[in-house]
Amino acid sequence: MIDELKPLQTGVEPVRYRIDAEHGVVYIRLRGDLTFAALCATEDAYLGDPEYEPGMALYVDCRVLTTIPTREQIRKLALDRLFRGVSMPLGPIAIVVLTPLGEEFGRAWELFSDTATARVRMFTSERLAREWLGVPAVPRWFDS
């Protein structure tokens, strides 16, 4: 169960992640002033986490963003995922947005992702994103 996962994993704030190995998903929460450094540090952290398995789905909640990295920086991060994908499979990515800034972040991620190797889709509903990924309810810590 999700409550039995190891203690909360954090990247550089305002980014948090937790891996649910049982259901094959990485939950990522983005809040506030999101920097490129925070995104990179979090990607490095979850990809290096012993619980991470190549091909896991990503559930990315960016409903409460106040600033985001530039499109060029998001492109660099997406390209990094593509290059890593040469040696490991990439899972589907569900991005949950509620604001124009979140939509801009999601559109940039979609634009720069190779949809042939990783499906990326934006949602305005947490429930629809979970259903698309086929994962259980988002953990309670996610909104704290």
Mean pLDDT over 94-118 rounds to 80
**Tokens 């983005």 -> residue:** 30
Query: What's the CA dihedral at 10, 60, 118, 100 to 10 degrees?
Result: -130
- 82-100 pLDDT tens trace: 666 555 677 899 999 999 9
What was the pLDDT predicted at 87? 55
Q: Are 19 and 53 in contact (CB under 8 A)?
A: no
Instruction: Output the CATH code of domain 10-135.
Output: 3.30.750.24
Amino acid at 99: T
Tokens of 84: 């890593």
The residue with greater pLDDT, 22 or 8, is 22
The C-alpha atoms of residue 78 and residue 25 are separated, in whole angstroms, by 18
The most confident of the ranges 8-12, 111-115, 135-139 is 135-139
Long-range CB contacts (< 8 A, 24+ apart) of 116-119? Answer: 117/82, 117/85, 117/89, 117/90, 118/81, 118/85, 118/90, 118/91, 118/92, 118/93, 119/92, 119/93
pLDDT band at 13 (very low <50, low <70, confident <90, very high): low
- Sequence ranges of the domains in the chain: 10-135
What was the pLDDT predicted at 26? 93
SS (H, E, C) 7-75: CCEECCCCEEEEEECCCCEEEEEEEEECCHHHHHHHHHHHHHCCCCCCCCEEEEEEEEEEECCCHHHHH
Least confident of 6-10, 36-40, 136-140: 6-10
- The answer to whether residue 65 scores a pLDDT higher than 60 is yes
pTM of the model: 0.80
